[in-house]
Amino acid sequence: MKCGTPRWTNQRSILRIAACRLRRRSCSSAGAVERVRSASICCQPVHPWVASPAGAPAVSALSSRIRRVRAAWQAKGNHVKQRVLITGAAGRIGTVLGHRLGDRYELSGIDQRPAAFPCLNADIRDLAAIQPAFEGIDAVVHLAANPHVAGSFADMVEHNITGTRNVYEAAKRAGVRLVMFASTNHVVSGWEIECGPSVYALDDTRTIDHNAEIRPDSPYGFSKAAGEALGRHYVDLHGLHVHVIRIGWVLDDAGNADPLTQDVSGETQPVLSERAVRRRLRAIWLSHDDCAHLVDRSLQSADVPFGIYYGVSNNPRLFYDLGKARRDLGYAPQDSAPRELGE
C-alpha cells in the first residue's frame, strides 16, 4: 500500500469488482443496456493494491465468496453461466468466440481495442493491470499474443512469454480453475521442414501428434513453446488446469488468413511452391464453427488437468493428429477444407 492511501480506497476497489460481477448476473433479464452499463464498471481503474501481494488474501477471499454465492444460487435450481475471460478479445479468434459462445457463457475480455463483449483495456505485460479481470472467473481463454511469425526475439519474449506468465499467475492468484492456452503449429513445424512438401499430399499417411518433439520454426514458435512449458509448470506446482490448443489456419469473414498461422515460406522456412502452400493450408485449416466448438469442449472438460491438442478441422489431409482432442475433449469437427484447394 502506498503511503497516504486510505485502506478504504483499496477495499472499495475490490468491492466494486464484486458488485460488477453480482450485478451482471442479477440483471440477466433486465436487458442488454443494463448489462453493458454494469459490465463497464469492471473496466474502471482499480487501485494497484488489488493486484499486490498484500491484497492477495482479500482478493482470494472475495473470489471464494462470489463462488459460494453462485453455488447457492445454482443449488436453488437457477442456471448459472460459466464465467469465461478471453484475452485478446478483439482479435479474430476472440471475435469468433464472442459471436458463437456469447449465449452459452458469460464472457468478459482483456484487450487494448474494443471487443464485442465487456472488455478491460489493459496490457497483459502488466500483471497489476490485468489482475482485477480474473476475480470470480471460472476459466480463461488466453489468445493475446504478438502474432507476427517472423517477429523479433525480444518482442516475442516480452509479449508471448512474460505476458503469458502474467496470465497464468493472475489465474492462479484468483483461483481460476482452467486456462486454455492458444498455441500454434509453429511449435513443431520443424517436422514439416524435415518431411518436405510431400507430407501435404492426400495419399501421405505421416502424422504429428502431441508426443512430437518441440521443433519451432521461428521466434514466434519458440515463444509459444515456452508458453506451453509455463502452463505445465503451473499445473505441476500450483494445481492450475491448462489445455494447450495448437491452432491451425483461421480465416476472417473476408477470406484473409490469420497472421497467427500465415505462411512464412521464405522467411523462417524453406521456400515452398504455390501448390505446396495451398496443400499445407488445406491440411491446417480451422473453420470458425469448429474453432468455437473446440474451445467449448475445452471449457466443458475442465476436469482434464493438462493436455496438448491440435486445432484443425476434419480436413482431407490431416498430418496434425486429432485423436487426443477427440478422446479427451470430445472434439468432433464438422467442417472440412475443400479438396481442390491443394490441386
Q: Mean pLDDT for each consecutive 10-residue tract of the chain (343 residues)? A: 35 42 41 36 48 62 62 60 97 96 97 94 97 97 93 93 98 98 96 91 94 95 98 98 97 60 48 83 95 99 98 96 98 92 69
Q: What pLDDT shows up at residue 338?
A: 86
* Count of domains for the chain: 2
End residue of a domain, out of 35, 57, 79: 79
End residue of a domain, out of 79, 111, 126: 79
Return all residues near 257 (Cβ < 8 A) that are at least 6 apart. 249, 250, 251, 263, 281
For 81-106, the pLDDT digits (tens) are 999 999 999 999 999 999 999 999 99
Q: What pLDDT shows up at residue 306?
A: 99
Is residue 184 within 8 A of residue 176, CB to CB? The reply is no
Q: What pLDDT shows up at residue 61?
A: 65
The answer to whether residues 88 and 215 belong to one domain is yes
**Starting at the edge strand that comes first in sequence, how are the strands of the sheet with 241-247 ordered?**
119-120, 106-110, 83-87, 139-142, 178-184, 241-247, 306-311
Q: In Å, what is the CA distance from 133 to each residue of 40, 127, 181, 203? A: 12, 11, 17, 48
Q: What pLDDT shows up at residue 274?
A: 83
The answer to whether residues 140 and 281 belong to one domain is yes
End residue of a domain, out of 28, 44, 79: 79
Q: What pLDDT shows up at residue 146?
A: 94
Q: Which domain holds residue 177?
A: 81-342
The answer to whether residues 87 and 26 belong to one domain is no
- Mutual angle of helices 92-101 and 288-299, in 10-degree steps: 70
The answer to whether residues 112 and 177 belong to one domain is yes
Distance (Å, rounded) from C-alpha 61 to C-alpha 279?
52
The answer to whether residues 56 and 112 belong to one domain is no
Q: What pLDDT shows up at residue 259?
A: 42
Q: What pLDDT shows up at residue 4?
A: 35
Q: What pLDDT shows up at residue 266?
A: 44
Q: What pLDDT shows up at residue 175?
A: 97
What is the residue type of 88?
Answer: G
Distance (Å, rounded) from C-alpha 284 to C-alpha 317?
9
Give the residue from 130, 116, 207 showing the smallest Cα distance to 163: 130
Q: What pLDDT shows up at residue 114?
A: 92
Q: What pLDDT shows up at residue 31?
A: 39
Q: What pLDDT shows up at residue 52?
A: 60
The answer to whether residues 66 and 168 belong to one domain is no
The answer to whether residues 113 and 46 belong to one domain is no
Q: Is 309 a catalytic residue?
A: no
The answer to whether residues 109 and 214 belong to one domain is yes
The answer to whether residues 268 and 299 belong to one domain is yes
The answer to whether residues 54 and 178 belong to one domain is no
Distance (Å, rounded) from C-alpha 45 to C-alpha 53?
18
The answer to whether residues 160 and 34 belong to one domain is no
For residue 296, the tally of other CB atoms under 10 A from its CB is: 19
Catalytic-role residue among 105, 168, 200, 220: 220
The answer to whether residues 105 and 226 belong to one domain is yes
